[in-house]
Amino acid sequence: MWRRVASLSSFLSSYSTSFVAQTASRLNTWESLTTRIAQQANGFIAPKEKTPFITFVLGGPGSGKGTQCIKIVETFGFTHLSAGDLLRREIDSNSADGAMILNKIKEGKIVPSQLTVKLIQKGMESSDNDKFLIDGFPRTEENRVSFEQIIGIEPNVVLFFDCPEEEMVKRLLNRNQGRVDDNLETIKTRLKVFEALSLPVINYYSQRGKLYTIRARGTEDEIFEQVRPIFTAFEACHVSTMILSIQLC
Ligand SMILES: Nc1ncnc2c1ncn2[C@@H]1O[C@H](COP(=O)(O)OP(=O)(O)O)[C@@H](O)[C@H]1O
Ligand SMILES: O=c1ccn([C@@H]2O[C@H](COP(=O)(O)OP(=O)(O)O)[C@@H](O)[C@H]2O)c(=O)[nH]1
Ligand SMILES: [Mg+2]
């Protein structure tokens, strides 16, 4: 079934255009967006036994990943798995790895991949949902490869919140969530880690045609209006796929 639907991607792309062209008209790249979405739509709102629909949410510290994830969850019904939150929960639960994780976070360094991937895997397995926002992961090429090896699937979509450094620093210093890493010294390390280790991951997904770059400056609502058409198009594509499969059966 999935192969048959994929072979219809060019038809789906023109079909979905009429559905969502209005909302997506803000994007200059609409034509290539619909083509890519038609190719990547398999699994959106899929039943549990099907491959889940995975979105990686990437961007520098303070770029607004978590804030936008809340809006995506509210609007599109994803399950939000923040890698940072999973690690902080692990610290709070006094697990054997807690002290090591706390040190890594304090220093702005990256926790060993296997540990993070296992926590994400647990989060996915304990959810009935099939649509996941994996926020703040993968942060390194090693993270990315480890996810592919352990979970065995690739993301359908990768969002990149592209935000100027000075804006990220300002936001982090005002975050007020009592986080051990929201101080200037750790922020400086985190920005360096982002540039050296995370940007290559973003480039990798850009080359694979999976990257959607969001200009992450402006109000939260303005930024969400760049995010919304991406998922609206996937939803429309899913509906047209359902209609087609009913017609073909
Ligand atoms: N568009 C925005 N404009 C101003 N502040 C924002 C915006 N988006 C998020 N914030 C604030 O910036 C801080 C960091 O946002 P967060 O979503 O935690 O970023 P990330 O998860 O990428 O580190 C939070 O205090 C949040 O309320
Ligand atoms: O896959 C991950 C995600 C997070 N972290 C650690 O957790 C910190 C906080 O991550 P989070 O995503 O919460 O930060 P944000 O970007 O949202 O500010 C990072 O600096 C890392 O030290 C990690 O090691 N691996
Ligand atoms: Mg966050």
pLDDT in tens, 224-246: 999 999 999 988 877 776 677 67
Residue nearest (by alpha carbon) to ligand 1 atom 11: 171
ipTM: 0.99
pLDDT in tens, 60-76: 999 999 999 999 999 99
d(CA 244, CA 149): 33
10 Cβ contact partners less than 8 Å away, ≥ 6 residues apart: 35, 38
- Asked if pLDDT for residue 185 goes beyond 90, the answer is yes
Q: Is 136 annotated as a binding residue?
A: yes
Q: How far is the CA of 62 from the centre of ligand 1 (A)?
A: 5
- Asked if pLDDT for residue 24 goes beyond 80, the answer is no
Helices (H), the chain: 2-7, 9-24, 30-40, 65-76, 83-92, 98-107, 113-125, 141-151, 165-173, 184-193, 199-207, 220-248
Give the global pTM: 0.85
Q: Is 139 annotated as a binding residue?
A: yes
Residue nearest (by alpha carbon) to ligand 2 atom 18: 61
Task: Please give, one letter per residue, the 3-state secondary structure of 164-212.
Answer: CHHHHHHHHHCCCCCCCCCCHHHHHHHHHHHHHHHHHHHHHHHHCCCEE
Q: Which atom of ligand 2 is nearest to the CA of 135?
A: 12
